[in-house]
């Protein structure tokens, strides 16, 4: 998918990413509360059904059926499945981890891309990037603390989420260069809604509490707005420019965990969050520096 270039409004892209990060933190905080009273798969379906229906009701009268046209339908479906897998792992993880710590581990995704590039794509990775990956992983260990009294194997679930989220972010960044962001958003919602609906006959439960319905609706709204803003952000600036600002989600998540659940991370967890954020932001900065270096001159044969 060759790109047509990015817009010349990096500050707008940064503002969109920070706002999207706030939406995602609000989504995770609400998910942790709602999942205690609603079956996990039912909440997952509602989150995607809300996004799909809301986006369709807004977009179709405005753009017509032309908005459904895409040059990369398989990639649209794959992107939707990656996000659905990420959401499922997120819902499971939030049952066991506080919001702030969960978010910090998930933000390992950009560093995981480096690992995938070296092991799967066989790309050359500098020693500095390996050091950043090691630093980020050390931050995860400070949060999870294997062998500690509070450790549960379920707390490793976010690492699976890191893998699916890394794939989703790479695909989003590349598709945003040629695909209509509204089309991408529409397909993402419907892929998630239709696939997750397969579980409804088994998990459906009557919800009678108005507060739970409000939480479900807010989850759908936060996810819908957040992902749309993220797609728009990638239209204005490259991923290397925007990635450092994604780490503001850790701060938003810590605030949400404190306001909603009274949770304050301990010193080790804060140190781990700081390590992950610092290494991730440094990795993005290194990408910008490397991109500015002139290519080596071709030798004479």
The residue assigned the tokens 């409000």 is 214
Q: 291 burial class (0-12, 13-18, 19+ CB within 10 angstroms)?
A: exposed
Whether residue 299 is predicted with pLDDT greater than 60 in this model: the reply is no
Distance CA 269, CA 281 (A): 18
Q: How confident is the model at residue 118 (pLDDT cuts 50, 70, 90)?
A: low
DSSP character string of 14-36 = HHHHHHHHHHHHHHHHHHHHHTT
The residue assigned the tokens 């490259």 is 238
Q: What is the pTM of this model?
A: 0.74
Q: Which residues contact 294 (CB under 8 A, 6 or more apart)?
A: none
Whether residue 2 is predicted with pLDDT greater than 50 in this model: the reply is no
Q: How confident is the model at residue 152 (pLDDT cuts 50, 70, 90)?
A: low
Q: Which pair of tokens denotes residue 75?
A: 């990639």
Reference 256, options 87, 101, 43, 39; nearest CA is: 101
Distance CA 279, CA 271 (A): 12
> Residue 300 has what pLDDT?
37
Q: How confident is the model at residue 221 (pLDDT cuts 50, 70, 90)?
A: very high
- The arithmetic mean of pLDDT across residues 185-212, rounded, is 92
Q: Please check whether residue 36 is in contact with residue 210, taking contact to mean a CB–CB distance below 8 angstroms.
A: no
Q: Which pair of tokens denotes residue 26?
A: 């609000």
Higher-scoring residue by pLDDT: 271, 156:
271
Q: Which pair of tokens denotes residue 84?
A: 């659905």
> Residue 156 has what pLDDT?
75
Using CA atoms, how far residue 133 sits from 50, 267, 274, 295, in Å, is: 36, 22, 14, 25
pLDDT digits (tens, 9 = 90+) for 35-70: 888 898 999 999 899 989 988 998 888 888 888 888
Q: 99 burial class (0-12, 13-18, 19+ CB within 10 angstroms)?
A: buried
Residue-range domain boundaries for the chain = 10-291
pLDDT digits (tens, 9 = 90+) for 245-273: 888 888 899 899 999 888 888 888 889 88
Using CA atoms, how far residue 284 sits from 7, 160, 173, 243, 288, in Å, is: 19, 22, 14, 6, 7
Q: Please check whether residue 186 is in contact with residue 11, taking contact to mean a CB–CB distance below 8 angstroms.
A: no
> Residue 56 has what pLDDT?
92
Distance CA 68, CA 182 (A): 9
Whether residue 231 is predicted with pLDDT greater than 50 in this model: the reply is yes
Q: Which pair of tokens denotes residue 62?
A: 């405005």
> Residue 80 has what pLDDT?
93
> Residue 151 has what pLDDT?
59
> Residue 3 has what pLDDT?
40
For all residues of the chain together, what is the average pLDDT? 82
- The arithmetic mean of pLDDT across residues 79-101, rounded, is 89
> Residue 149 has what pLDDT?
59
Helix axes 10-34 and 99-106, enclosed angle (nearest 10): 130
Q: How confident is the model at residue 4 (pLDDT cuts 50, 70, 90)?
A: very low
For residue 141, the tally of other CB atoms under 10 A from its CB is 12
């Amino acid at each position: 998918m060759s790109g047509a270039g990015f817009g010349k409004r990096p500050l707008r892209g940064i503002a969109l990413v920070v706002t999207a990060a706030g939406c995602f933190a609000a989504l995770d905080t609400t998910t942790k509360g709602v999942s205690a009273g609603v079956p996990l798969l039912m909440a997952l379906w509602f989150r995607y059904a809300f996004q799909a229906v809301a986006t369709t009701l807004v977009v179709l009268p405005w753009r017509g059926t032309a908005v459904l046209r895409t040059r990369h339908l398989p990639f649209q479906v794959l992107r939707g499945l990656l996000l659905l897998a990420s959401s499922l792992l997120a819902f499971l993880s939030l049952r066991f981890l506080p919001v702030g710590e969960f978010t910090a581990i998930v933000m390992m995704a950009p560093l995981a891309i480096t690992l995938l590039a070296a092991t799967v794509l066989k790309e050359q990775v500098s020693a500095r990037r390996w050091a950043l990956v090691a630093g980020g992983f050390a931050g995860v260990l400070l949060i999870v603390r294997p062998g500690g009294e509070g450790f549960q194997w379920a707390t490793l679930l976010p690492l699976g989420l890191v893998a699916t989220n890394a794939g989703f972010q790479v695909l989003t960044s590349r598709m945003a260069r040629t695909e209509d962001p509204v089309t991408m958003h529409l397909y993402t919602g419907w892929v998630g809604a239709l696939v997750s609906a397969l579980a409804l006959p088994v998990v459906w439960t009557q919800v009678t509490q108005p507060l739970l319905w409000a939480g479900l609706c807010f989850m759908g709204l936060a996810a819908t707005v957040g992902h749309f803003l993220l797609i728009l952000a990638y239209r204005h600036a490259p991923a290397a420019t925007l990635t450092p600002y994604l780490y503001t989600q850790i701060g938003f998540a810590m605030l949400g965990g404190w306001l909603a659940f009274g949770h304050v991370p301990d010193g080790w967890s804060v140190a781990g969050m700081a390590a992950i954020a610092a290494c991730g932001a440094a990795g993005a900065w290194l990408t910008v520096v490397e991109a500015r270096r002139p290519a080596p001159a071709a030798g004479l044969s």
